[in-house]
Amino acid sequence: MENPELRDLKQRIPHYAKSQQRNLEVLLNSSVLTPQQKWGCLLVSAALSKNAYLLKTIDAQSQKFLSDTAKEAALACIATMTLNNCGFRAKHWLGTDFADVRFGLRNTVDLKPGISQADYEVWAIAASAINGCEQCIQAHSQTGQDEGLKIEQLWEAVKIASVISSLAQILHVHEVIDN
């Protein structure tokens, strides 16, 4: 059962973006990922979307599916992947002279019981998709496959990131134009 905030979110999506409303509904009802993987991806994506309304809405609904430990790991993923995505994306752009340069910053997440490496990998893929880091998305895709995730599961994380990113932009535009 969805909370009133999620119903409100769906109602706020303007007519010109009804495809995104349908896409959100499909992803919410999908069983490609475990509920923890899916809601972690949604939370990570909403947080990185920088849309406060969307983040509050997703966070409220995610409480049904994420333990406090899982939520903390998803938030740690945001911190870790934002730093890594920025650094490794820049390193890639700087060219081959920087290929062997060590990043030199501490940036790890210690997973606690109840959070599998596979869970973390789908969250990292969603973060890397939103943050636009080719190297990180490739690395986490490979690690995810090594952890037993199927390509369809990895792609589901990208789809979630894409829809949440689109919704954040749509909601922002709609809010600015209507106010």
Rounded Cα gap, residues 130 and 158, in angstroms: 8
Q: What is the largest CA-CA distance in the chain?
A: 53
How many Å separate Cα 101 from the centre of its chain? 28
Q: What are phi and psi of 116, to 5 degrees?
A: -85, 160
Picking from 174, 179, 175, 172, the residue whose alpha carbon sits closest to that of residue 50 is 172
> Is 133 marked active-site?
yes
> Is 41 marked active-site?
no
CA quadruple 87, 132, 138, 162: dihedral sign: positive
Rounded Cα gap, residues 172 and 179, in angstroms: 11
Q: Spell 9-40 as b/e; 16+ CB within 10 A means b.
A: bbebbeeebeebbebbeebbeeebbeebbbbb
Catalytic residues: 133, 136
